[in-house]
């Protein structure tokens, strides 16, 4: 079961570390990421309820990446956080390597 805001929640909890975050703080930050003048259908209370129920259901599953620390506070499982940390280090190296290997004679489609 994937949530629309799954990647945003993951990024917030990765930055937060082992202490975790309260659902209220997660909901506020996710709401601020997606709220703008063009997205009028987004309600903070609906978003908070959706995130709260998603994290609660996911933390009860054995294979989930989320764990409940205490009432209303969630974090990533420690083994998942290490795994993600190793995963994110690899592509960065390849991107830097690829930038150096770009031929200098490539032409732009549009000259400014």
Whether 108 maps to a domain, the answer reads: no
Q: 54: burial class by Cβ within 10 Å (0-12, 13-18, 19+)?
A: buried
The answer on pLDDT for 93 being more than 60 is: no
Whether 86 maps to a domain, the answer reads: yes
Whether 112 maps to a domain, the answer reads: no
Q: 29: burial class by Cβ within 10 Å (0-12, 13-18, 19+)?
A: middle
Q: Residue 80 has what pLDDT?
A: 67
Mean pLDDT computed over every residue of the chain:
76
Residue spans of alpha helices (H) in the chain: 6-16, 23-34, 44-60, 78-100
Residue 42 in 3-state DSSP?
A: coil
* pLDDT tens readout for residues 18-45: 888 999 999 999 998 888 777 778 888 9
pTM of the model: 0.66
Whether 107 maps to a domain, the answer reads: no
Beta carbons within 10 angstroms of residue 55's beta carbon:
23
pLDDT band (50, 70, 90) for residue 57: very high
Instruction: Compute the average pLDDT of residues 67-93.
Output: 69
Phi first, then psi: what are they for 70, rounded to 5°?
-150, -175
Whether 105 maps to a domain, the answer reads: no
| Length in residues, the chain | 112
Whether 60 maps to a domain, the answer reads: yes
pLDDT band (50, 70, 90) for residue 84: low
Domain containing residue 14: 6-100
Q: Residue 55 has what pLDDT?
A: 92
Phi first, then psi: what are they for 102, rounded to 5°?
-75, 130
* Total domains, the chain: 1
């Amino acid at each position: 079961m994937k949530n629309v805001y799954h990647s945003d929640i993951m990024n917030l909890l990765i930055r937060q570390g082992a202490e975790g975050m309260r659902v209220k703080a997660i909901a506020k930050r996710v709401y601020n990421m997606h709220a703008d003048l063009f997205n009028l259908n987004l309600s903070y209370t609906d978003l908070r309820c959706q995130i709260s129920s998603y994290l609660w259901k996911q933390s009860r599953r054995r294979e989930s990446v989320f764990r409940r620390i205490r009432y209303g506070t969630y974090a990533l499982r420690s083994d998942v956080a290490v795994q993600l940390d190793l995963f994110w280090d690899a592509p960065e190296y390849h991107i830097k390597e690829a930038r150096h290997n770009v031929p200098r004679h490539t032409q732009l489609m549009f000259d400014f």
